[in-house]
Amino acid sequence: MLENGTDGPRIIAAIETAWEVLQESHPELPDVYVIVDNAGARHNLVTPDRLEADMRLELPVHRDAIAAGPRAVLEAVLHVATHALCQVRGVSETSNRGMRHNKHFRDTAVELGMKWPTGEPPHATKGFSPVPLTPEAESGYAPLVAALGKSLDGVVVGVAESPAKGKSGTRLTLQCECTDPVRTFQIGPRIASVGPIVCGVCGAEFTER
């Protein structure tokens, strides 16, 4: 979790700005809002449970990426952006419940400045993931990494609490401070106990209602 309550909105704004920079060169990318993901199971855009016509998709960024620094955050965002480009184009980029990344993911990643090492076989379970940045892309993204670094400066990411045991099948309904529209979703108690989930719209933590 983020130790300082003011860190969340600042980090979220910086990551959303980074996404907007990617949209300038890749207008196919949809509008998003960022959530800090403590579970770590998601690596693509998420459709909210109650999707309105003008609502943005959720861009989850794992707390470990934030703790690792601006380069890791950028790589996480680029990974999600690769999935997003495939999805808006109707291209199937993964198999095995999203775990294995195929050649379509690899080839699309090239458009975002990443390239799979020549001659290197795919990972046994992840496939072509993660795809590393090229030296040219590292140079091009340097100003963006620097901007993210300023936003992450001084941020302390605490250790997530041990997951609590809950009854099988139990679901919690969490809600933030948004009112138009009200934003809620359901989640298992074990995942909810890992740490706070922050809304990218109002900046408040989702809590049980």
Predicted confidence (pLDDT) per residue in 98-108, tens digit? 889 999 999 99
**Beta bridge partner(s), residue 170:** none
Radius of gyration of the chain (CA): 17
Residue 10 pLDDT level (bands cut at 50, 70, 90): confident
Phi and psi angles of residue 180, each rounded to the nearest 5 degrees, phi first: -140, 85
Phi and psi angles of residue 110, each rounded to the nearest 5 degrees, phi first: -60, -35
Q: How far apart are CA 127 and CA 184, in angstroms?
A: 34
The per-residue pLDDT for range 13-57, each reduced to its tens digit, is 899 999 999 999 999 999 998 888 776 556 667 655 544 555 678
Q: Does the residue 199 lie in any domain?
A: no
The pLDDT assigned to 206 comes to: 77
The per-residue pLDDT for range 151-173, each reduced to its tens digit, is 888 776 654 443 444 444 456 77
Q: Does the residue 102 lie in any domain?
A: yes
Q: How far apart are CA 197 and CA 39, in angstroms?
A: 9
Q: Does the residue 107 lie in any domain?
A: yes
* Selection from 158, 208, 184, 204 nearest residue 9 by Cα: 204
Q: Does the residue 175 lie in any domain?
A: no
- pLDDT beyond 80 at 122: yes
Q: How far apart are CA 101 and CA 104, in angstroms?
A: 8
Q: 3-7, 69-73, 174-178: which has the highest mean pLDDT? A: 69-73
Q: Please state, rounded to an integer, the average pLDDT across all residues of the chain.
A: 82
Percent of the chain with pLDDT over 70: 77
Residue-number span of the structural domain to which 95 is assigned: 7-159
Q: Does the residue 209 lie in any domain?
A: no
Q: Does the residue 129 lie in any domain?
A: yes
The pLDDT assigned to 83 comes to: 95
Our count of domains for the chain comes to: 1
pTM surpassing 0.85?
Answer: no
Q: Which of 14-28, 53-67, 128-142, 185-199 has the lowest mean pLDDT?
A: 185-199
